[in-house]
Amino acid sequence: MTGDPFVRCTEPVVVQPETVTTRPKDPCTPTPCGVGAECRSQGNSATCKCPINYVGDPYTGCRPECVQNSDCPRDKSCANNRCINPCPGVCGLNAECRVINHYPVCSCISGYTGDASSACLKKPPTPNPCVPSPCGANAVCRDQSGLAICQCLPEYFGDARQGCKPECVLNSDCASTQVCVNQKCRDPCPGLCGNNAECRVVNHFATCYCPQGYTGSPLESCRPECLLNSDCESTLACINQKCKDPCAGICGQGAECHVVSHNPICSCPRGKTGDPFIECRPTPVVKPCDPSPCGPNSICRPVGSEPVCSCQSGFDGVPPECRPECISSSECPPSKACVNMKCQDPCPGACGRDAQCRVVNHSPICICPSGWTGDPLTGCRIIPSKHDYND
């Protein structure tokens, strides 16, 4: 409805529009395509496409694939605006073609020779320089550009044309520090010696030995001089695997040190007092020998204000440790025995007449000399000869 709403509303009058006939517009006019491109209309849309043998973006411009060889890859050439392989039909029989910088190059295949652009013929066979082999024993022949090259077999040495031989056959073929094993010069030491032992090779012969400071069997095991104090004499201690005097640098000034069961004992000497680990000082003595400071089995003799100690006759040592030379034979050298607390030769008076005496581990051993018989403890006599019996 339409009209003045304060007066009257009426229905609107519809006016029919006149029918106008229009022709559809061609989307390819003007063409939306680039130079050299073709335009095709599909309904109200235009499709651009490069012609056959042309390349590029059809909406910006199409161009031929090539105009000159430089437009193509190096293994192609430009023909009729296209990059093609220039080889087909160029080379002759038994030839092969390669493209080098856009141009075809013909060459005969392996084993052929001749004009590659027309035809290649098979090469005549060349003689094998290795038949018969000019090489010596244990060598191989190799054909290298028609020349015979002789080379020793692996692990063989020498002049390949004269003959190759192994590295060694005898020990004398090796250095003096090596031996010949399976025709090779080898160090004979690995695995030969015991633990901690060292090996030395002299004139092809390996010798095992314990290094300095070690003892034992070099073929089995070498060990240090000591590992525990008990491995040393009672007057020594095991220091850095060596038996050494443990007193060095232990005691104070003026003190004396003596070793008891491997342990250093510091003490101030007679006539001195103080801390033996720091310093010992002289002690005033009114009567140096009363009481005697010299210890048992000793003699004290005053010299001025100082006592002078000495061991009694028949006793050895230094006071206050005076003792007889021996109590048992084990305290004497193996060739002596403890007799009346003295280390003496036990042989005198031990054997019979004309017998010989040897001391073994402190004991006298009596034997009759060669050519004699009898009881060596009572007497020996000459063994009669056959001549004596015949007489």
Closest CA to 350 of 321, 374, 378, 318: 378
Confirm whether 8 is domain-assigned.
no
Using the 3D structure, point to which of 89, 104, 122 is the last residue of a domain: 122
Question: Which region among 93-102, 151-160, 315-324, 371-380 has the lowest average model confidence (pLDDT)?
Answer: 315-324
Tokens of 300: 């004290």
Confirm whether 327 is domain-assigned.
no
Supply the DSSP symbol for 217: E
Confirm whether 20 is domain-assigned.
no
Task: Cite the beta strand spans of 109-232 per DSSP E.
Answer: 112-115, 119-122, 139-144, 147-152, 156-157, 165-166, 179-181, 184-186, 198-202, 205-209, 214-217, 221-224
Instruction: CATH number of the domain at 391, please.
Output: 2.10.25
More confident residue, 18 or 129: 129
Other Cβ atoms closer than 10 A to 255: 20
Long-range contacts of 162-169 (CB under 8 A, 24+ apart): 162/136, 163/136, 163/137, 163/138, 163/139, 164/136, 164/137, 164/138, 164/139, 165/138
pLDDT at residue 367, rounded to an integer: 92
90 alpha-carbon distance from chain centroid = 65
Confirm whether 184 is domain-assigned.
no
Provide φ and ψ at 98, rounded to 5°.
Answer: -130, 140
Contact 134, 160 (CB under 8 A): no
d(CA 116, CA 133): 36
Using the 3D structure, point to which of 84, 100, 122 is the last residue of a domain: 122
Chain-wide mean pLDDT for the chain?
86
Confirm whether 156 is domain-assigned.
no
What would the pLDDT profile of 19-48 be if each residue is shown by its tens digit?
A: 555 567 788 888 889 888 889 888 788 899
pLDDT at 288 over 70: yes
What would the pLDDT profile of 314-330 be if each residue is shown by its tens digit?
A: 788 888 888 888 888 88
Structural domains of the chain, count: 2
**What is the residue-wise DSSP string for 350-381?**
TS-BT-EEEEETTEEEEEPPTTEEEETTTEEE
pLDDT at 141 over 70: yes
Helix then strand then coil, % of the chain, to nearest 5: 5, 40, 55
- Provide the domain limits for residue 109: 69-122
Confirm whether 105 is domain-assigned.
yes
Tell the residue number behind the tokens 């040897």, with chain if given: 358
Tell the residue number behind the tokens 């040592």, with chain if given: 317
pLDDT at residue 339, rounded to an integer: 87
Question: Which region among 202-206, 319-323, 354-358, 371-375 has the lowest average model confidence (pLDDT)?
Answer: 319-323
- Band (204; pLDDT cuts 50, 70, 90): very high
Query: Coil, strand, or helix at residue 140?
Result: strand
- Please state the rounded mean pLDDT for residues 275-282: 90
Confirm whether 201 is domain-assigned.
no
Confirm whether 78 is domain-assigned.
yes
